[in-house]
Amino acid sequence: MSIKLNFWQTILLFLPFSIGFLLIGLPYASLYGHQTIAAMANFLFLVSISMAILYQTYLVLGFNSISGIKSTIFKLNAIIPAVFMTIYLVYVGYFTFLHLTFHNPKYNTGPMRKADLTGSTLIIFLFLIHAFITFYFINNIFVANKIKTIHDADQQQKLRSDFSIPLKKLTKISIWVVGILFILSTTIDIIRYWGKV
């Protein structure tokens, strides 16, 4: 049995991301309120990102087993972001809902914040970069290229329909959602700025 999301179901994967975006725009009365809202929005961002990566990993591993192409390196490369994002989601969820902790006591609400690049932050950052590259480039390119090497036209079409098209749809929708929210955020910031001038 395979899970193949349609267009609207794929968009729903990014609903928590959109809700997190709306939370960030809420007015806040205090620094604590701003930090709490930012922590919840961060968690919602991670929920969407994790669901998208887990769905993509599901498709990629399904392709790997059904196509007859066994690539251990590709399988590991697909699994690493899924495992990392799951662990990171649990970590962020714990520190957001069960043990609310703000790591930066000198937190400011402005656009420029001090970045403390510790060893653990660097490791998380590297895993996030790996997940980004795997999500947008490696998985899609690998699946598309491997499908091209299959000579049976019927099998090629079935693999395209079951794996390549859903992967491309997921990637395109994620780009559209982030792009629309970025444009919306920029527009809101410009309106707020001109309202203060």
The chain-wide mean pLDDT, for the chain, equals 86
Distance CA(94)–CA(90), nearest Å, equals 6
Longest dimension (CA), the chain: 65
- The pLDDT tens digits of the residues spanning 96-138 come to 888 776 555 555 555 555 666 788 888 989 999 999 999 999 9
Mean pLDDT, residues 130-155 taken together: 92
- pTM, two decimals, is 0.84
Question: What residues have CB less than 8 Å from 55, skipping those under 6 apart?
Answer: 3, 5, 13, 170
The whole-number average pLDDT for the span 149-158 is: 90
d(CA 156, CA 129): 31
Report the pLDDT value the prediction gives residue 128, as an integer from 0 to 100.
Answer: 92
| The predicted structure's pLDDT at residue 138 | 93
Which has the minimum average pLDDT: 94-103, 137-146, 153-162, 165-174? 94-103
Query: One-letter amino acid identity for 189?
Result: D
Confidence of residue 6 (pLDDT cuts 50, 70, 90): confident
Contact 42, 96 (CB under 8 A): yes
Residue 53 has pLDDT above 90, yes or no: yes
Residue 88 pLDDT? 94
Instruction: List, in order, residues 6 or more apart from 149 with CB less than 8 Å away.
Output: none
Q: How far is CA 11 from the centre of its chain?
A: 13
Which pLDDT does position 109 carry in this prediction? 56
- Per cent of the chain over pLDDT 90 is 48
Please state the domain extents for the chain: 7-196
Stretch 57-61: mean pLDDT = 93
- The 8-class DSSP code of residue 25 comes to T
> Which comes out higher in pLDDT, residue 30 or 192?
192
Q: What is the pLDDT of residue 1?
A: 46
Task: Tell me the C-alpha to C-alpha distance, in Å, between residue 188 and each of 33, 192, 195.
Answer: 21, 6, 10
Confidence of residue 34 (pLDDT cuts 50, 70, 90): confident
CB atoms within 10 A of CB 147: 19
Residue 94 vs residue 32, higher pLDDT? 94
